[in-house]
Structure 1
Amino acid sequence: MLRRDVRIGVVTSNENKFIELKELAKSFNIELEQLKGEKIEIQSDNLEEISKTAAYLAYLTFRRPLIVDDSGLFIETLQNFPGPYTNFVKNTIGLKGILKLLEDLKDRSAYFMTVLTFTDGKIIKTFNGIVKGVISEEIRGNSGFGFDPIFIPEGEKRTFAEMSLEEKNKYSHRARAFAKFADFLMSYLEKA
């Protein structure tokens, strides 16, 4: 068990992302605190590079242990578009735009990927989580955020947006990455 005084900062302006991470952290007895400030993102086709650089730059600002989460939706038939450009695509063409791109296509295979990066100034380490699934044919559900209303994880008939947060966390890319981080953190703190 972790000591209760272990607090990890989360650099994000996305309230929904922070809520998901905070909920995940409870089961590992990790306390998260949202660090207000803009996450600086470099232009890259590689989520890991984006996440690592953002964590490094955030550490220069906050000077405390922190994590940065960078996630993307990868649609296989669209050559893994939008990938690292997921947020930009969500804010420009949105859910309807993605559905329009897939309108006449049978292959709707996709996956969500999260790269969570931890740094405390001594080390910088990444943890990946992937969940495979398909893009639905219509927008469904009112929960979640981002592309949750059109993503159906493998083994489910519902979109992420049709699930409660607890249900989504059983499948999600973010939950898988966070579990790897939590395992690492426990052993890392024991050695410290």
Structure 2
Amino acid sequence: MELVFATHNRNKFKEIEAMLPDHISLLSLDDIGCTEDIAETADTIDGNAILKAEYVRHRYGYNCFADDTGLEVDALAGAPGVYSARYAGDQKDDKANVAKLLEQLKDKESRKAHFKTVIALNLKNNENLFTGICEGKIIEERRGEKGFGYDPVFVPNGYDRTFAEMEMKEKAEISHRGKAFKALIDYLSK
């Protein structure tokens, strides 16, 4: 089976590709000639995933899935949430986003947070959603060189290391994206 993962993010693509069973061939937006940045104009994580999957299916005709992920921090009333990638501005700068998050949490007691990923699968206009959540906390300074986004400051519950300190395989076992993707794979295997 051939599926398009509606992303230009090579880190995300590699993370998902490593989890795929052999019978699924994964293509990126670059592979199908989609060079545009698909607008994420919904006000929810679910909505953005649906928008991207529908865009690729209708414009390019491929079976497709798209994800959207947000970091939701309790002490910030769920922020950055749907705006996680653009928290510090439209340039989508990971370091600036983390710096803003740490600044916003500077005087907060609770550092409880969770990552939420929603995957929208669009197969011949049959759409399904798969959600994964990983609970954890935001630490006070960056640790680790692996991963991307908020990984250097997020420690999942039950661990003492950040996502950025974990190998990709270990992170995929417990992460929000890994959980949502496992649900997608289970569905595709039926």
TM norm structure 1: 0.89
Identical pairs, percent: 34
Question: Structure 2 stretches of 5 or more lacking a match?
Answer: none
* Distance in 1 between residues matched to 2:159 and 2:8, nearest whole Å: 30
* Distance in 1 between residues matched to 2:77 and 2:144, nearest whole Å: 27
Tell me how far 1:29 sits from its aligned partner: 4.5
* Distance in 2 between residues matched to 1:61 and 1:44, nearest whole Å: 19
In the TM superposition, 1:1-150 aligns within 5 A as: 6-26=1-21, 29-36=23-30, 37=34, 38-89=36-87, 91=92, 93-150=96-153
Q: Which runs of 4+ in 1 moved over 6 A?
A: none
Aligned length, in residue pairs? 181
1:166 paired residue number: 169
Tell me how far 1:9 sits from its aligned partner: 1.0
1:3 paired residue number: none
* Distance in 2 between residues matched to 1:29 and 1:144, nearest whole Å: 26
Tell me how far 1:39 sits from its aligned partner: 4.7
Q: Does 1:185 align with 2:188?
A: yes
* Distance in 2 between residues matched to 1:163 and 1:80, nearest whole Å: 25
Give the letter for the 2:51 counterpart.
T
TM norm structure 2: 0.90
Give 3-state SS (helix, strand or coil) of 1:57's partner.
helix
Give 3-state SS (helix, strand or coil) of 1:68's partner.
strand
Tell me how far 1:41 sits from its aligned partner: 2.9
Q: Is the 8 A contact 2:133 2:175 kept in 1?
A: yes
Tell me how far 1:135 sits from its aligned partner: 0.3
* Distance in 2 between residues matched to 1:122 and 1:161, nearest whole Å: 36
Question: Structure 1 stretches of 5 or more lacking a match?
Answer: 1-5, 188-192
Q: Are residues 52 and 72 of structure 1, via their aligned partners in 2, closer, same or farther at CA, if it must alter by over 3 Å?
A: same
Decide which structure has greater helix share. Answer: 1
Tell me how far 1:105 sits from its aligned partner: 1.2
